[in-house]
Amino acid sequence: MPHVHATPRSAPPGPPGGEVYRLALPNTSCAAKLSRDFLSSLLTVSRHRGLIDDARLCVTEVVTNAHRHTRTSLIRVGVTVQRKQVTVSVADDDHWALPEPPAFREVREEVGEQEGGRGLLLVERLALAWGMTVLGGCFPYRKAVWFTLARAGSAP
């Protein structure tokens, strides 16, 4: 059974009171840049400019994981923009490639000893909440990795 990690909030917050945006990208090396640009534009227009740097870093890490570690043909980015927070979800069609949460991985401090594996640690440190959701019920067909960023001083 695949494991699912989540912060205290175990599912991404729903869209009540928010606007939902979606982008479907082919699984290519350009997917991370396109998702960064898409998210930056949304956050600029929605007056969440203070979240742009963290959002760009987190979405890059999650989309890059989907690109590098799955065989999915499409990477789907969903963004829910609310007044004080933004939730980003990155879904792919490869349910067997669940990312390994940082708590289950030994991270070596010495530079160069480990080439990868630090991306979800960055997401964990920057996000108010984050997690993974397997979609599709008894026969999962897809998974999503999501994270929520909030304006300074916002509580979950």
- Residue at 78: amino acid letter: G
* Sheet containing strand 142-150, strands side by side: 19-26, 74-81, 85-92, 142-150, 129-135
Cβ–Cβ under 8 Å, residues 89 and 152: no
* Domain annotation for the chain: domains and CATH numbers: 20-150 (3.30.565.10)
Q: What is the pLDDT along the chain (156 residues), one digit of tens a residue?
A: 333 444 444 455 555 678 999 999 999 999 999 999 999 999 999 999 999 999 999 999 999 999 998 888 999 999 999 999 999 999 998 765 555 555 544 444 444 445 556 788 899 999 999 998 877 666 656 789 999 999 876 555
pTM for the whole structure: 0.77
Sign of CA dihedral 74, 48, 4, 10: negative
